[in-house]
Amino acid sequence: MSSSAAEAPGVGPSPTWAPPAGRSSTVCVVGSGGREHALALVLGRTAEVIVTPGNPGITGSTPEGHTITSVAAPAEDIEADLFVIGPEALLVDGLADRLRAQGKLVFGPGAAGARLEGSKAFMKEMLAEAGVPTARFGVFGDPVAAKAYLHTLTGPWVVKTDGLAAGKGVLVTGSLAEAEADIDAKLSGDAFGEAGRHVVVEEGLVGPECSLLVLCDGERLAALAPAQDFKRRDDFDHGPNTGGMGAYSPVAFVDDRMVRRLVTEAVAPLVAALRARGIEYRGVLYAGLMLTSDGPKVLEFNVRFGDPETQVVLPRYDGDLAALLAEVASGALTTVPRFLPDAAVCVVLASEGYPESPRTGDVINGLGDAAAVDGVTVFHAGTAVAASGPEGAVVTAGGRVLGITALGDTVDDARRRAYRAASAIKWPGIHRRSDIALSATVEPTPDASGVRDAGAKEEISQ
């Protein structure tokens, strides 16, 4: 089924990236997490940055002399030369469309393109339409039909909510009974409400994973440096799925040739299929991929910068990020992104009880000591200023609280720095994985259950 132009409008003419004479360009970053913190810092190398609503770690001056400020105002009320929208929920809700209707230059897809993440069923439909390799799947609203399809697949099994679930609506299991119970919980609305009223049931895939962020100006594509993230909460890829417990970049097994192949086989056909439906996509396409023995296959597409992938990819960017994203927003992408040879590793620090019921309100100690480690940046993701107690105290205010990112000459060097800084951070119940990027520095070894080291990511799809 195709959509009409009225249902899925293109973005139309865009304003130019040209601030008034004598003034630096201003970029408005919309969001409050670690991804937006990383965007603000890298954009701040060449532009003034306004973040709405921001978080306690974002505000300040950049080493290049530009300022980053936070404001508690709707994006529609802010004046800026470029708007960069971080969270997927705002994109699905049509914020990019509303800003463009005001004549503003926007990096981020409209609601029509954002359906790729807003509905996994729609995303799978588009992949099939575009001929992009992906796992076998079925979409169901009836638990009996969903379970019947489940029995046609050979385990492991994957059950996903159709709608947005903050990266936590995916079950990957080798237990048929667990998969059936998850279908019942999701389709009843008990697990994820309306987001789970339909489920996508998939076959499990095997192979190393990678994340590839690809910029798209509606037609032209430019890939950023690959990364690998770690979705499971606990070491050796055990525990529930999360929004991401860490990441690293570059990825040795995804070289330039493989990147070109992934763009050609997975991203370009999807963009062409969107254009055929009248959807002009301007923003970033975040492809989650698995390199199977049958070739690369898409696990998912997201419509925003990945989190925590952004925290390891953008610090390595060697160029003017504000100008690059403005090219994308203008439909005039010409820059070929370049990256520093340095490696980056991000270790996420999470609250007790994450992801099911994270504990909040604990005072965070050691922020200054962590930031003092050479090459380290502490990205705030779920923090707040304490309403009482010591003045200026920062407390936990979410599941994923901080992302400790380190740059180094090698992945091993960056990893050591990241963990040295992470060990300086303290609060009751703090949780982190100990194996982020480990297999990028040593040969993977089986754990007691026979699962290979988590860094290799040679498990079933997320």
How confident is the model over 9-61, as pLDDT tens digits? 556 667 777 776 667 899 999 999 999 999 999 999 999 999 999 999 998 87
Q: Where are the beta strands (DSSP E) in 282-408?
A: 282-292, 295-302, 343-350, 376-380, 383-385, 394-396, 400-408
Tokens representing 257 are 């040739």
Higher pLDDT, 217 or 195: 217
Statement: residue 167 has pLDDT above 70: no
* Phi, then psi, of 414 in degrees rounded to 5: -65, -40
CA-angle at 377, arms to 376 and 383, nearest 5°: 135
Which residue from 212, 27, 184 is spatially nearest to 104, judged by alpha carbons?
Answer: 27
- Condensed to tens digits (0 to 9), the pLDDT of residues 313-345 reads 999 999 999 999 999 999 999 999 999 999 999
The mean pLDDT of 232-256, rounded to a whole number, is 95
Instruction: Provide the pLDDT for residue 447.
Output: 38
Strands 106-107 and 82-85, sheet pairing: parallel
Tokens representing 415 are 């990893």
Statement: residue 3 has pLDDT above 50: no
**Residue labelled with tokens 């005001």:** 102
Q: Are 216 and 283 in contact (CB under 8 A)?
A: yes
The mean pLDDT of 391-405, rounded to a whole number, is 95
Strands 238-241 and 232-234, sheet pairing: antiparallel
Instruction: Provide the pLDDT for residue 166.
Output: 62
**Residue labelled with tokens 């620090």:** 349
Sign of CA dihedral 293, 299, 303, 309: negative
Per mean pLDDT, which range of 81-85, 142-146, 439-443, 451-455 is the poorest?
A: 451-455
164 — pLDDT class (breaks 50, 70, 90): confident
The structural domains of the chain, ordered by start, are 26-110 (3.40.50.20), 136-203 (3.30.1490.20), 209-456 (3.30.470.20)
**Residue labelled with tokens 């799925």:** 241
Question: Taking all residues of the chain, what is their mean pLDDT, rounded to a whole number?
Answer: 89
Q: Are 144 and 150 in contact (CB under 8 A)?
A: no
155 — pLDDT class (breaks 50, 70, 90): confident
Share of residues in the chain with pLDDT > 70 (%) = 90
Spatial distance between the Cα atoms of 143 and 190, rounded to a whole number of angstroms: 13
Instruction: Provide the pLDDT for residue 458.
Output: 34
Per mean pLDDT, which range of 110-119, 179-188, 367-376 is the poorest?
A: 179-188
Tokens representing 377 are 């940046």
Spatial distance between the Cα atoms of 455 and 393, rounded to a whole number of angstroms: 35
The CA-based dihedral angle spanning residues 108, 113, 119, 120, taken in that order and rounded to the nearest 10 degrees: -90
